[in-house]
């Protein structure tokens, strides 16, 4: 009788352990600024990704979490990465930063110089990788959607995007090149050379079409599509 009880208990524990293994979700945290902060909204790109996963029947395998704060630059991400990301024990972190580092140079004189941007970004990468967290780096998308290269910050955005591309390659991180993706989309679809209204509401933040576009790119880049 004792043997049967012990065998039964071990069987139950085995089934429970297997069930817990099956239920463990891959936790993906999106780390960034106001664009990411809005991503968890009703029509945000993170919400749309969750809907896409549900349509595919794979939603139970993933947990998507936003960690975006408006106005953040790379320095801000470095300061809050412990509390806002590492404390969540993520398996994957998607870093999308750079727009404010460039934009705030012109708007308020508080941007981030390129050399400092690279140093802080590198420090973030190293700290996450020390925890064996998989990283996906995103280039900053756009500050103005004009296609004739007359957007004020095009040059800086291209420069900072090159820094991120270099860091992705040097540190063996996945790259989602939103800078290139937005440019290519606008070249095809912004025939009137409008400064906003194609994928953004105000040259920077995403409209619903932009959120769908980013969700699709994120799904592809993360290998979820």
* 16 within domain boundaries: no
* 145 within domain boundaries: yes
The Cα 123–Cα 171 span in angstroms is: 11
Give the pLDDT confidence score for residue 225 in this predicted structure: 79
Give the pLDDT confidence score for residue 107 in this predicted structure: 73
* 6 within domain boundaries: no
Per-residue pLDDT for 41 more than 50? yes
Per-residue pLDDT for 9 more than 80? no
- Residue ranges of the alpha helices (H) in the chain? 2-23, 34-37, 45-56, 74-84, 99-107, 114-130, 154-170, 178-189, 208-221
CB 117 within 8 A of CB 74: yes
pLDDT tens per residue, range 56-76: 999 999 999 999 999 999 999
Q: What's the whole-number mean pLDDT along residues 220-224?
A: 97
Per-residue pLDDT for 4 more than 50? no
Which domain CATH number covers 99? 3.40.50.1110
- Mean confidence (pLDDT) of the chain: 92
CB 72 within 8 A of CB 140: no
* 3 within domain boundaries: no
Where in the sequence is the domain holding 146, given as residue range(s)? 25-221
Considering only CA atoms, which of 186, 82, 99 is closest in space to residue 138?
A: 99
CB 150 within 8 A of CB 159: no
Structure tokens at 211: 């959120």
* 11 within domain boundaries: no
Q: What's the whole-number mean pLDDT along residues 100-107?
A: 88
With 0-12 / 13-18 / 19 or more C-beta atoms within 10 angstroms meaning exposed / middle / buried, residue 129 is middle
Question: What are the Cα distances from residue 181, in Å, to 16, 140, 159, 187, 218?
Answer: 45, 10, 16, 10, 11
**pTM score:** 0.89
* 33 within domain boundaries: yes
* 138 within domain boundaries: yes
Overall residue count recorded for the chain in this entry? 225
Query: Structural domain tally of the chain?
Result: 1
């Amino acid at each position: 009788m004792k043997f049967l009880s012990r065998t039964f208990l071990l069987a139950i524990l085995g089934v429970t352990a297997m069930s817990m293994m099956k239920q463990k979700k891959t936790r993906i945290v999106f780390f960034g600024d106001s664009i990411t902060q809005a991503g968890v909204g009703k029509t945000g790109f993170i919400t749309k990704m969750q809907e896409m996963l549900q349509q595919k029947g794979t939603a139970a395998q993933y947990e998507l979490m936003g960690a975006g704060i408006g106005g953040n630059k790379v320095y801000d991400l470095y300061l809050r990465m412990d509390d806002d990301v590492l404390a969540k024990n993520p398996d994957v972190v998607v870093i999308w930063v750079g727009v404010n580092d460039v934009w705030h140079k012109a708007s308020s004189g508080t941007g981030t110089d390129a050399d400092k941007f690279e140093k802080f970004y590198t420090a973030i990468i190293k700290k996450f990788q020390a925890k064996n967290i998989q990283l996906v780096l995103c280039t900053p998308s756009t500050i103005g959607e004009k296609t004739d290269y007359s957007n004020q910050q095009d040059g800086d955005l291209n420069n900072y995007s090159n820094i991120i591309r270099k860091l992705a390659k040097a540190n063996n991180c996945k790259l989602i090149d939103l800078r290139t993706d937005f440019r290519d989309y606008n070249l095809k679809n912004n025939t009137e050379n409008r400064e906003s209204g194609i994928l953004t509401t105000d040259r920077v933040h995403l409209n619903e079409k932009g959120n769908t576009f980013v969700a699709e790119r994120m799904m592809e880049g993360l290998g979820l599509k």
